[in-house]
Amino acid sequence: MHGMSFAVINPATEESIAELDAAGVEETDAAVARAKAAFPEWRSVAPTDRARLLRRLATLVEEHTEELARIESQNVGKPIGGARAEVGMVAQVFHFYAGAVDKHHGETIPVAGGVDLTFREPLGVVGLIVPWNFPLNISSWKLGPALACGNTVVLKPAELTPLSALRLAELILEAGIPEGVVNVVVGPGRIVGQRLVEHPAVAKIGFTGSTEVGRTVMQGAAETIKRVTLELGGKSANVVFADADLEKAAAAAPYAVFDNAGQDCCARSRILVERCAYDRFVELLVEATRKVKVGDPENEATEMGPLISAQHRETVASFVDGDPLFRGDTPDGRGFWFPCTLVEATNDDRVAREEVFGPVAAVIQFTDEDEAIRIANDTPYGLSGSIWTENGARALRVARALETGVLSINSNSSVRASTPFGGFKQSGFGRELGMHAMDGYSEVKNVFMAT
Ligand code: TXE
């Protein structure tokens, strides 16, 4: 693989925007060696200094919002407005973990015959494997806690979307974080990613991607008993009860699945609607979906861009046959466009069972609360979801019953810098964001001293 170059494509124009050399095993090993060499110094940086470096990085990200947003928009096809908001979150994440550095600490435990202390120790070198849908965001979710805990890092962005991680690596150095602490390796998952998974000097893999590759990562990690955090696929439910504010629920529902052109692990791609409100809700939903502005990501008004690649578009298309409830428009000309699509389905249909990862929503009816819960949970996944109802007790009752890691009530919102994010069931395990992520990038050490 070493020396082979590849083109990075803008999915809205199908044009090449960069040529990069793909790394292979040798470059991956060299990056791990650099991270290993940098570890003793980085773990010993005083907590307040480590916090200051992370805060400086957060500020640099803020100052480079426009540049980073343009890179992300061109490489992923994201509408520029949304890309800016994502960069805003990246800065918030680094601010949050700057503050977390000295707030994640051990305890003293009462024992007989001495003093018992726990310490939070960094793991060492961690391998961070990131997908193409939110390249910069997901990188920051892993880098923040990894660095705050004192680990050094090899970061592998997805082959299709390496540009923002490369620019971030420059800002990391500019912030004053020592060389070798963060190393970015661009190359194929089955070579660079797999090498990180197998490498004996890598202590942990933080992975986001498909459930299928997540399974391979988990298997590979078993050999060296590596720690793993897996953020995998989703098939989340947007549960709309008849007692909801239907206008509000219908206005929000398209953005819960068509944001990022549906290429979102949190996409609420199964819209479950109570039968007695079904016709009215579907009417409102179709109207709201019709209003989603699909087109040039550089246009400030655009809400949905193209899919990531031609190959991915083929996969998405394979989920739609027959007459959908609604099919939107797409721009003419080049770009991997796919229309916003609403399909009537039962929960047994393929479109309701598999992660489409495109702008296709399955609309499914239910008769009562018990059936809503049963259908919502009838999936191997368990990442996110929404519940729409004006009945507070019902909202919490259903929230407790759903097998999913992240839920919102009367909202689409899934992620914030300070709150835990992660899956149940085959959506993975371990938590990102918030203080919970710090547990995934540290070990607890117990020390007893006889007195
Ligand atoms: O993901 P992959 P892909 C789902 C979604 C999408 C499908 C395929 O349904 O259509 O997966 O996307 C690296 N060892 N999701 O192919 O392959 C790879 O280089 C180690 C859902 O992009 O899982 C990339 O950096 N690493 C998901 C990362 O893993 C390997 C987000 C993810 O790639 C590897 C993305 C290997 N053997 C895709 N093979 C979500 N739900 O957020 C690949 N990689």
Partners of 8 in the beta sheet? 18
Bridge partners for 355 per DSSP:
none
b/e burial code for range 218-234 (CB count within 10 A of at least 16 → b): bebbeeeebbbbbbbbb
**Token duo for residue 85:** 């908001």
Q: Write the pLDDT tens digit of every residue in 285-296.
A: 999 999 999 999
Q: CA nearest 424: which of 234, 214, 177?
A: 234
- Predicted pLDDT of residue 3: 63
216 lines ligand 1 (CB under 6 A): yes
Task: For residue 342, list its beta bridge partners.
Answer: 326, 361
Q: Which of 148, 45, 68 is nearest to 417 (CA)?
A: 148
Nearest CA to ligand 1 atom 31: 209
Specify the pLDDT at position 39.
98
Nearest one of 93, 64, 68, 69 to 81, comparing CA atoms = 69
CB distance 131 to ligand 1 below 6 Å:
yes
Q: Determine the Cα–Cα distance for residues 63 and 53; give it in Å rounded to an integer.
A: 15
Which residue, 248, 331, 253, 311, is CA-closest to 286? 253
| CB count in 10 Å sphere of residue 392 | 10
User: 189: CA distance to ligand 1 center in Å?
Assistant: 8
Measure the CA angle with vertex 154, ends 151 and 155; round to 5°: 115
Å from CA of 209 to ligand 1 middle: 4
Q: Rounded CA gap, 400 and 318, in Å? A: 34
How far, in Å, from the CA of 134 to the mean position of ligand 1? 12
For residue 410, give both structure tokens: 């009367």
Residue closest via CA to ligand 1's atom 19 equals 189
Q: Which residues, given as ranges, of the chain have pLDDT below 50?
A: 1
Which tokens sit at 123? 């793991």
Measured CA distances, 451 to 106, 107, 118, 119, 314 (Å)? 20, 18, 16, 19, 69
CB–CB of 340/359 below 8 Å? Answer: yes
Atom 15 (ligand 1) nearest CA: 210
Fill in the DSSP letter of residue 34: H
403's tokens: 């097998």
Ligand 1 atom closest to the CA of 157, numbered from 1: 25
Burial class of residue 276, CB neighbours in 10 A (0-12, 13-18, 19+): middle
**Does the C-beta of 208 come closer than 6 Å to ligand 1?**
yes
Residue pLDDT, tens place only, 101-125: 999 999 999 999 999 999 999 999 9
| 324 CB-side CA count, 13 A | 20
Which alpha helices (DSSP H) does 293-349 contain, by range? 310-317
d(CA 349, CA 361): 12
CB of residue 209 inside a 6 A radius of ligand 1: yes
pLDDT at residue 20, rounded to an integer? 97
Query: Which ligand 1 atom sits closest to the C-alpha of 213?
Result: 23
DSSP code for 124: S
Amino acid at 334: R
With tokens 């089955």, the residue in question is 190
Contact 228, 218 (CB under 8 A): yes
